[in-house]
């Protein structure tokens, strides 16, 4: 198996080289616009403890919307199914930062992984944690055994200075009674969580509990029940790639979460997790090379068929 996985990663690494330059970095956030675009890393963490990596898999990058997965897990652990009184469970079909549906649906975001939904999740956590950034970092540090993991102050400030649409969404939801804290405080927390920096290897390790019935392999912590982990994976499959979720489900067929920093973390139930990073994005805001790399991995490995059969 080890030889096969290494060969698959080496094959993918070679195949993606001609794709550099076909996307563009997230230049609407000034700090991200300065990221070197010609980078690619891919890491795999298996439920049996084995790890594989290729390229820039150990380089830290801004996880951005991938953080929404982990804050959602924290909120689910905190209030359980009460979360669905404030957020829906349906794909939006609109861009991740769209406000279109909020008025017709009375300030209830479609799902936790679009910006409006993630802001509500952050609002929920802001009620519980005086220092939400530390709560999230401590969770991720435990999952990765990386005590130095942190968020980037420059990226957080850059994002906060340009967060006008997110602020508008927060105030709009507050007008419907679906926001408790001040939008300013929630936006501060939200921008810090998005500015968390991790590598492919760390992200693959952090998400392994979703491939293992909610149990984290490294720490032995039961992060979620088996049923809750299955439901999180279902939402990642249907809502994790912005308004390209249907296309990703068709091409790749895995629960996954993307981020405009160029990262994608994907779950192969009963087998492991994969994280891929390349900063150049496609028109939907997902990593152009990352999407290709995940699709090729599933074609080469056949893991999607194996996980469904288990």
pLDDT in tens, 211-246: 999 999 988 999 999 999 999 999 999 999 988 999
One DSSP character per residue, 184-237 reads HHHHHHHHHHHTEEE-HHHHHHHTGGGGTTTB-TTT--B-S-HHHHHHHHHHHH
| Exposure b/e, 50-63, CB count within 10 A at least 16 = b | eebbbbbbebbbbb
- pLDDT tens digits, one per residue of 258-269: 999 999 999 999
Tokens of 293: 């790399």
Mean per-residue pLDDT, 42-66: 97
Number of other residues whose CB lies within 10 A of the CB of residue 127? 13
Mean per-residue pLDDT, 171-194: 96
What is the pLDDT confidence band of residue 95, given thresholds at 50, 70 and 90? low
3-state class (DSSP) for residue 268: strand
Q: Which residues are catalytic?
A: 65, 68, 190, 242, 260
Number of other residues whose CB lies within 10 A of the CB of residue 146? 17
- pLDDT tens digits, one per residue of 153-164: 999 999 999 999
Instruction: Return the beta strands (E) in 75-119 as ranges.
Output: none
Domain of residue 135, residue span: 65-194
What is the pLDDT confidence band of residue 97, given thresholds at 50, 70 and 90? low
Q: What percent of the chain has pLDDT over 90?
A: 88
Same domain, 239 and 188: no
Task: Answer whether 0.75 is exceeded by the pTM.
Answer: yes
164, 194, 224 — which closes off a domain?
194
Same domain, 216 and 133: no
Q: What pLDDT does residue 73 have?
A: 98
Largest CA distance in the chain: 57
Same domain, 104 and 164: yes
Which DSSP symbol is given to 41?
E
Same domain, 29 and 75: no
Residue numbering of the annotated binding site for substrate: 65, 115, 159, 166, 190, 242, 260
- Residues 6 or more apart whose Cβ sits within 8 Å of residue 150: 137, 196, 197
Same domain, 214 and 203: yes
Asked whether residue 307 carries a pLDDT value surpassing 90, the answer given is: no
Same domain, 21 and 140: no
286: domain CATH number is 3.40.710.10
159 vs 254: CA distance, rounded Å? 29
CA angle 278, 281, 282 (to 5 degrees): 135
The percent of the chain in helix, strand and coil, each rounded to the nearest 5, is: 55, 10, 35
Question: How many separate domains does the chain show?
Answer: 2
Residue numbering of the annotated binding site: 65, 115, 159, 166, 190, 242, 260
127, 161, 194 — which closes off a domain?
194
Mean per-residue pLDDT, 120-146: 96
Instruction: Return the beta strands (E) in 81-132 as ranges.
Output: none
Same domain, 154 and 108: yes
Mean per-residue pLDDT of the chain: 94
91 vs 147: CA distance, rounded Å? 35
C-alpha neighbours within 13 Å on the C-beta side of residue 204: 26
Same domain, 243 and 266: yes
Asked whether residue 306 carries a pLDDT value surpassing 60, the answer given is: no
């Amino acid at each position: 198996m080890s030889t096969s996985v290494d060969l698959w990663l080496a094959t993918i690494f070679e195949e993606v080289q001609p794709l550099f330059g076909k996307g563009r970095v997230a230049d609407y956030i000034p700090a991200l616009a300065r990221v070197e675009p010609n980078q690619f890393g891919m890491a795999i963490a298996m439920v049996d403890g084995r790890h594989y990596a290729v390229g820039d898999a150990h380089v830290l990058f801004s996880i951005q919307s991938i953080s929404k997965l982990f804050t959602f897990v924290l909120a689910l652990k905190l209030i359980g199914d009460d979360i669905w009184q404030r957020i829906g469970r349906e794909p939006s079909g609109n861009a991740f930062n769209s406000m279109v549906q909020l008025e017709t649906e009375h300030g209830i975001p479609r799902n936790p992984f679009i910006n409006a939904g993630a802001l509500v999740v952050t609002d929920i956590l802001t009620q519980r944690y005086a220092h939400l950034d530390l709560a999230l970092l401590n969770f991720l540090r435990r999952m990765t055994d990386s005590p130095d993991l942190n968020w980037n102050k420059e990226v957080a400030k850059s994002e906060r200075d340009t967060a006008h649409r997110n602020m508008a969404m927060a105030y709009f939801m507050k007008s419907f009674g679906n926001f408790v804290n001040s939008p300013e405080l929630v936006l501060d927390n939200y921008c810090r969580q998005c500015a968390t920096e991790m590598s492919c290897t760390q992200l693959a390790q952090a998400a392994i509990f979703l491939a293992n019935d909610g149990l984290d392999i490294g720490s032995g912590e039961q992060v979620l029940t088996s049923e809750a982990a299955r439901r999180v994976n279902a939402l990642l499959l249907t809502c994790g790639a912005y308004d390209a979720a249907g296309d990703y489900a068709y091409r790749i067929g895995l629960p996954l979460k993307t981020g405009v920093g160029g990262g994608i973390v994907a779950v192969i139930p009963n087998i492991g997790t994969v994280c891929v990073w390349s900063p150049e994005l496609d028109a939907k805001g997902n990593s152009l090379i990352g999407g290709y790399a995940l699709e090729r991995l599933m074609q080469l490995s056949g893991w999607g068929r194996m996980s469904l059969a288990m």
